[in-house]
Chain A
Amino acid sequence: MSTSTQTAAVAEAAGAKGKGRGKLSEGARAERRLGWLLCAPAVVIMIAVTAYPIGYAVYLSLQKYNLAFPNAVKFVGLSNYGAVLSSPYWWQAFKVTIIIMVVSVAIEFVLGMLLALLMYRTLLGRGTVRTSALIPYGIVTIAAAYSWQFAWTPSTGYLSALFNNSAPLSSTVSSLGVIILAEVWKTTPFVALLLLAGLSLVPEDLQKAAKVDGATAWQRFTRITLPLMKPAILVALLFRTLDAFRIFDNIYILTDGGNGTGSVSVLGYDNLFNALNLGIGSAISILIFICVAIIAVLFIKGFGTAAPGSNLLK
């Protein structure tokens, strides 16, 4: 309701300025120019620090370049990409990455929402609840991954003893489960934090009005809270999905990509640092970059008008 009032007011203002959506006044243009100028130093540094390595990676991916054969470097165009996309190892890693991404983000979203609601509604020890919920996120990923690895190793681990001293890290499905568990444990607090920020934007009076009208808790949650939280949900899901696609640390420590549990990042790492194949490794990196960009675009397009800032006048 408030969104449509806002849009109406904006449209009126646009009409008052005379021309249609595309024209800006002198003042608005000057403000925009100032905005760009203030951003410029950060943009320049970002380009220098990120665009150069990305450009170099593209350049490397177009060459046949193996560090162990430094004299046999030559330009081969897109054949590295052909080799990667036609390799069953890439598609296996891609499948594993998508599985981990979808399952872990889904679980994190549900648990994160519950945790956010808990942190929001808690009356006693608010600070303690919020701080202790953040501890897993504060622990260094590698340290936590080593703890998980020891816990799940038969004869040294306490978790493995709970499950009949089996070796979950030695078979594909169970090790994927362990990896997803480690991921969820680590980043649910992060999702909860982002969702908590979104929760606090939902006006309390709307909830009260709905209560008066007779809405159940579930109806209030799905009809009022969730739609108003859409921008925060988009940010949380987008960040987590992009991070989950690029998962590396947990897999590297827990299984080192063995038994078919390697993600695309692990595949890229192995081909770059084990096989010393800079051409293939860079091609894999660029493909990961493209996939991440596609995911981001899909999310923004999918969420449409709920994207933060999309309701401002252009």
Chain B
Amino acid sequence: MIGLTDRQARPKRSALRRVLGWPSRTRSRELIAGAMGVILVSSVLAACATSNAAGTVTLTFYDAPDTSGATQQVVNTCSAQSDGKYTISYQQLPTGSDGQREQLVRRLAAHDSSIDIMALDVTWEPEFAEAGWIQPWTGAYKQQAEAGTLVPALDTAIWQGKLVAVPDNSNTELLWYRSDLVKTPPATWTQMINDSIQLAKEGKPHLIEIQGAQYEGVTVWFNTMLASAGGSVLSPNAQQVVLGQPAITALSMMKELATSVAADPSLDVQMENDNRLAMEAGKAAFELNYPFVYPSMKTDDPALFKDFKWAPYPEVIPGKPARVTIGGTDLAVSAYSQHSSLAFQAALCLRDKASQLVSATVGGLPPTLTSLYSDPAMFADYPFHADILQALENASVRPKTPTYQIVSIDISHLVSPPVSINPVSTEKSMVGEIGNALQEKGLIP
């Protein structure tokens, strides 16, 4: 089109467009493209612009979803009590523990500065601290965190001599049994299995409900049995695998249950909730589970609830009190938070006496402050508070190592399904695999 004037080179408008006063088709396209470009750019700019409200800082608190409303209540109370210094925003993580860890770990590995306070499962502290993702607690904050806290709960928050988190709530298992089937609860595992066999002979409900699926719960069962037999997975400096004879004792007892009539047919896939449902259905005589089963039985089966009693966890070695594995959550402050000191203060508020009382009565989570166990406000919902306190004071912790996730997966794959346990060879495999895990060698299944 060289040689034509600009007017001649431009395409003409059709008659219709001339009459309506619209630009030509090409020009229309140009205008529309330009308008869309403007809209796109302005929307991107609007999305990028952050609204800066001067004064009150918003701290993000990442925790598991809580349907009881206790967490939101605690968050609101602490925000109000800060006198305008900060507002806590409750961000929900996925329901399962593994999903929560995945979410947090990805963000922390990418140095995400939008996380301030996190609720950590009691097994994650060594991993997070070793990677430098959480800040140690020092000085006045440390003193406030330690004051009046249960010792095993505090132990879960200490890594290499430093306090890296503050215990919030705890959890432990008790023996729940039906008093219409057994008059006195069994004191040892052997006695419990014998009681079950006797009940089976009489044709009565006789199952012992325990978590046997291939997940963290079965690792907890193994750890409880091992600690109750006087052993441990790792040496005190977490550098070597110990196990040994106590492990063989623990594994033998687990196998004995799995091969007896006391074992639930679905043991291989049962988690805490499945145990609760089986007990409420009237199929079982004994259950080893967390206190959440108590309010559940009260609402679901009032008839059975009359005979629903509790007792301390059975002993593995007669005469030696059981050491049940402690559960629960600790609160930690992210190393990449932009408001560290405010985050420490907020975390301390989120787990203070009033907050833990709400979590216990509304949320059903046992507290970590010793004084609350003698507080009358607790007794209505926690008639078993004395047994829980006793269990918590004598509790065992899971192996403390940054590679705990791998260690746990190795253990769960070796002890579940429980019928496949062969005490001597399983112990040997465990020593080999956990040893590999500690040196970060090898794969996880």
Indicate whether A and B interact: yes
Give chain A's interface residues, CB within 8 Å of chain B.
64, 66-70, 83-84, 87, 89-90, 92, 167, 170, 257-259, 262, 267, 270-271, 273-277, 280, 284
| In the complex with contacts A67-B105, A170-B269, A274-B102, A89-B130 CB distance below 8 A | no
Residue contact A87 to B131, C-beta cutoff 8 Å: no
Min CB–CB distance B162 → chain A (angstroms): 17
22 residue pairs bridging A and B, Cβ less than 8 Å apart: A67-B131, A68-B105, A68-B131, A69-B402, A70-B109, A70-B131, A84-B443, A87-B443, A89-B444, A167-B269, A170-B266, A170-B268, A262-B445, A270-B445, A271-B444, A274-B98, A275-B405, A275-B443, A276-B105, A276-B405, A277-B440, A284-B443
B residues 390-445 with Cβ under 8 Å of A?
Answer: 402-403, 405-406, 409, 440-445
Does residue B127 face the partner (Cβ distance < 8 Å to A)? Answer: yes
Q: Of all chain A residues, which has the CB nearest B131?
A: A68
**Alpha-carbon gap, A275 to B440, bound state (A):** 9
For the complex formed, measure the closest distance between the CB of B367 and the CB atoms of chain A, giving whole angstroms: 30
Contact with A along B266-304 (1 / 0, CB 8 A): 101100000000000000000000000000000000000
Q: B132 in the interface, Cβ–Cβ < 8 Å?
A: yes
Chain A residues with Cβ under 8 A from B188's Cβ? none
Q: Does B156 contact A (CB under 8 A)?
A: no
Bound complex: CA A309 to CA B403 (Å): 53
The interface size of chain B toward A, counting residues with CB under 8 Å, comes to 24
For residue B223, CB closer than 8 A to chain A, the reply is no
A201 to chain B, nearest CB (A): 38
Q: Does B214 contact A (CB under 8 A)?
A: yes
Find out whether the CB atom of A167 lies under 8 angstroms from the CB atom of B266: yes
- What residues of chain A lie closer than 8 Å to B127, measured between beta carbons? 68
**A143 to B445, alpha carbons, bound, how many Å?**
26
Question: What's the minimum C-beta distance from A92 to chain B, rounded to whole angstroms?
Answer: 8
The verdict on A259 contacting B214 (CB below 8 Å), with A67-B131, A273-B102, A275-B405 known, is: yes
- Which of A64, A70, A83, A284 touches B132 (beta carbons < 8 Å)? A70
B102 near A66: Cβ-Cβ < 8 Å: no
User: Which 8 pairs between the two chains have the least Cβ-Cβ distance?
Assistant: A170-B269, A68-B131, A67-B109, A87-B443, A89-B445, A275-B444, A89-B443, A68-B127
- Taking a contact as CB atoms closer than 8 A, the residue among B102, B130, B441 that contacts A68 in the complex is B130
Chain B residues within CB distance 8 Å of chain A: 98, 102, 105-106, 109, 127, 130-132, 214, 266, 268-269, 402-403, 405-406, 409, 440-445
B118 to chain A, nearest CB (A): 15
CA A259 – CA B131 in complex, angstroms? 31
Kindly list chain A residues whose C-beta atoms are within 8 Å of the C-beta of B445: 89, 92, 257, 262, 267, 270
Chain B nearest Cβ from A165, distance in angstroms: 11
List, in ascending order, chain B residues with CB within 8 A of A270's CB: 444-445
A130 to B409, CA, bound (A): 46
Give every chain B residue within 8 A of A275 (Cβ-Cβ): 405-406, 409, 443-444
Question: In the complex, how many angstroms separate the beta carbon of B277 from the nearest chain A beta carbon?
Answer: 8
Most buried by B among A84, A259, A275: A275
A90 to B442, CA, bound (A): 10
Smallest CB-CB separation from A276: which chain B residue? B105
Residue of A nearest to B102 (CB): A273
Residue in contact with B131 in the complex, picked from A69, A170, A258, CB distance below 8 Å:
A69
CB distance from A241 to the nearest CB of B (A): 25
Residues of B with C-beta under 8 A to A92: 445
Besides the known contacts A70-B109, A258-B214, 5 further A-B residue pairs in the complex with CB atoms under 8 A apart:
A68-B105, A87-B442, A170-B266, A271-B443, A276-B109
* CA–CA, A262 and B132, complex, Å: 32
Residues A69 and B444 in contact, CB atoms below 8 Å apart: no
Residues of B within 8 A of A64 (CB): 440
* Residues of chain B with a CB closer than 8 A to A258's CB: 214
Which chain B positions have C-beta within 8 A of A69?
130-131, 402, 440
CB-based nearest B residue for A92 = B445
By beta carbon, the residue of chain A nearest B441 is A83
**A264–B409 CA distance with the chains assembled, in angstroms:** 17
Contacts of B442 in A (CB 8 A): 83, 87
| Neighbouring B residues of A67 by C-beta, 8 Å | 105, 109, 131
Alpha-carbon distance A275/B442, docked complex (angstroms): 11
Complex CA gap A170/B270 in Å reads: 10
Chain B contacts for A90, CB-based, 8 A: 443
Q: Check A66/B440 contact, CB under 8 A, given A167-B269, A276-B109.
A: yes
In whole angstroms, how far apart are the Cα atoms of A271 and B102 in the complex?
A: 12
Q: Which residues of B contact A89 (CB under 8 A)?
A: 443-445
Chain A hits for B105, CB < 8 A: 67-68, 276
Q: A68-B131, A167-B266, A258-B214 are in contact. Are A274 and B444 (CB under 8 A)?
A: yes
The closest CB in chain A to the CB of B105 belongs to: A276
Q: How far is the CA of A280 from the CA of B436 in the complex (A)?
A: 14
CA distance A89 to B410 in the complex (A): 12
Q: Kindly state the separation between the CA atoms of A284 and B445 in the bound complex, as whole angstroms.
A: 12
Q: How far is the CA of A167 from the CA of B269 in the complex (A)?
A: 9
